[in-house]
Chain A
Amino acid sequence: EAGVAQSPRYKIIEKRQSVAFWCNPISGHATLYWYQQILGQGPKLLIQFQNNGVVDDSQLPKDRFSAERLKGVDSTLKIQPAKLEDSAVYLCASSLGWGPGDTQYFGPGTRLTVL
């Protein structure tokens, strides 16, 4: 079974530039998550999709971050404009369902450096 795919793996940009990340979840997984992991911290949930609807985006900085999940499959996360404090690893995860019993499978992440 193929895992969660993410691209690019690394990205370096100047502050105030825009950047987009892509995630392809495990086939058949209804729920998709984007996490932000700042160096030395645990991952923090940014947004959660159930199929192509947003379940939780309470911690997404909506003035600069946006995300969409096309046709309930792939997802993109965009930052515009980027700030220095956005430097982090962005992790995508997917699960079959939505609930405490559903195991989340994580992709390798995209490491973003904002200069």
Chain B
Amino acid sequence: KQEVTQIPAALSVPEGENLVLNCSFTDSAIYNLQWFRQDPGKGLTSLLLIQSSQREQTSGRLNASLDKSSGRSTLYIAASQPGDSATYLCAVYGGATNKLIFGTGTLLAVQP
């Protein structure tokens, strides 16, 4: 059974810092991995999608890496801003089931 874990559960940083969020998964037979952002009272927004054959994806200040063999992904946020404050979720597609399996999320607070 695929299990997705995110560390840390919560993180508070001052504005301008670079930070790394971690995601690990138990079954490496995945099609892809996504990072989502969730704002209070709003749905999820997809930030980055990494195919299983890729090592990383970049969008603006965000960079996501994937090491499928070790079951790990990281989301790097450069020069953090208060507007980055949200819950960040990673999700894998594949493994034993063809559905998105989500992690528990990291609650990020960027202090001005």
Interface residues of A (CB under 8 A from B): 3-4, 9, 40-45, 48, 56, 91, 93, 99-101, 103-109
Question: What is the interface of chain A mostly: helix, strand, loop, or mixed?
Answer: loop
- Bound Cα distance A106, B87 (Å): 15
- Given A91-B43, A103-B46, A109-B41, output 6 extra A-B contacts at Cβ < 8 Å: A42-B102, A42-B105, A43-B102, A100-B93, A101-B31, A103-B49
- Bound Cα distance A13, B42 (Å): 22
- Bound Cα distance A105, B41 (Å): 15
Inter-chain contact A41/B94, CB cutoff 8 Å: no
Inter-chain contact A104/B104, CB cutoff 8 Å: no
> Once A and B bind, how many residue pairs between them come within 8 Å at the CB atom?
50
Question: What is the interface of chain B mostly: helix, strand, loop, or mixed?
Answer: strand
Inter-chain contact B49/A108, CB cutoff 8 Å: no
**Sampled A-B contacts (12; CB under 8 Å):** A4-B43, A40-B104, A42-B105, A43-B89, A91-B43, A93-B44, A100-B32, A103-B49, A104-B46, A106-B44, A108-B43, A109-B41
Residues of B with C-beta under 8 A to A93: 43-44
- Bound Cα distance A43, B46 (Å): 14
- Kindly report which residue of chain A lies nearest to residue B4, judged by CB atoms: A42
- Bound Cα distance A75, B91 (Å): 24
What per-residue 1/0 map shows which CB atoms of B31-53 lie under 8 Å from chain A? 11000000001111110010000
